[in-house]
Amino acid sequence: MGRGRSAETLALVETVNRILAEYAGELTVRQVYYQLVARQVIPNLPREYKRVSRVLTEARRRGEVDPDRITDRLRRAIPTHAWGGLRSYFETVLRSYRREKWSTQPFNVELWVEKDALAGVLEPIARDYEVTLFPCRGFGSYSSLRDAARRLGADPDRPPVVVYMGDFDPSGEAIPRAAVSKLREDHGLDVDLRVVALTADQVDRYNLPHDFTKPGDSRSRGFVERHGDRAVELDALPPDVLVQLARDGIEAFWDVTQFAREQEREAEDLADLRARLAEAS
């Protein structure tokens, strides 16, 4: 099984499997890498990331690491959808029906994440609470922020809120502030911004591995004065902590009682739909 490979590589594979056993669902190679760094198994260096990527590729090929536990969230296939007949279509309708519930909530909340690669981790949370998930991928373009203003400002009776998650570095700190400023200046929309990750307190609390800020970034000086010369990627957070921070951020604006009422109505709708489909068949 380990023929031709060093004891160091085999030990690394064993540690990866222990990390995967601690979390449910899939992790990216980058998330695994940061968990290895946090445990001081490897140093936080670009060459080490490349080595971990190579080792994980070979370990999955050999069946030493479950390939279903490692995912690539950047490269996604776009499937087409079709059905084998009306019965299978009706079953899909029943499984996919959800009554829209956020219009009865007191706030219009969206979950924004700086990195598209982490959108897959946060999609189930966004679905649970039926909020829009927006991977902003750095500083927002005029078009993307115009679309956001339309969504967030669609109901004047529900104040707009952005729950934001991004890197702890000069750009990560500036991105949400710039977005809120542009939403106000260009689109006349005031948004309540709640940054739930990453913060200096979280970096310290979870002892997250860090790098140095980029010297060419014009924002670095002020950031370093406030926080020291350290930069931490959002991927470094343990996945379960990342998920819980997103949930807590949304639930701060969540009316539990009203949501439960809408769930009851959804159940009634589904019962009615099943009855209608039974009559039709």
| Residue 122 maps to a domain | yes
- What CATH number does residue 217 fall under? 3.40.1360.10
pLDDT band at 3 (very low <50, low <70, confident <90, very high): low
Q: What is the pLDDT of residue 116?
A: 82
| Residue 264 maps to a domain | no
Structural domains in the chain (count): 2
Q: What is the pLDDT of residue 209?
A: 84
d(CA 209, CA 167): 12
d(CA 254, CA 106): 8
Closest Cα partner for 131 from 251, 234, 244, 245?
A: 251
Residue 129 one-letter amino acid? Y
d(CA 279, CA 93): 15
Q: Are 151 and 214 in contact (CB under 8 A)?
A: no
| Residue 279 maps to a domain | no
- Do 173 and 243 reside in the same domain of the chain? yes
User: 113: part of which helix (H) or strand (E)?
Assistant: strand 108-113
Q: What is the pLDDT of residue 4?
A: 61
The pTM is what? Answer: 0.78
- Do 115 and 50 reside in the same domain of the chain? no
Residue 59 one-letter amino acid? A
d(CA 220, CA 171): 8
Q: Are 111 and 132 in contact (CB under 8 A)?
A: yes
Q: Which of 54-58, 59-63, 78-82, 264-268 has the lowest mean pLDDT?
A: 78-82
Task: Give the model confidence (pLDDT) of 109-165 as tens digits.
Answer: 999 999 887 887 898 899 889 899 999 888 888 899 999 999 999 999 999 999 999
Place of tokens 């039709």: 280
DSSP per-residue codes, 182-211: HHHHHH----EEEEEE--HHHHHHTT---B
Q: What is the pLDDT of residue 177?
A: 93
pLDDT band at 101 (very low <50, low <70, confident <90, very high): confident
| Residue 151 maps to a domain | yes
Closest Cα partner for 265 from 101, 135, 148, 124?
A: 101
Q: Is the dihedral of CA 198, 199, 201, 203 positive or negative?
A: positive
- Do 64 and 112 reside in the same domain of the chain? no
Instruction: Provide the residue range defining the domain that includes 60.
Output: 7-69
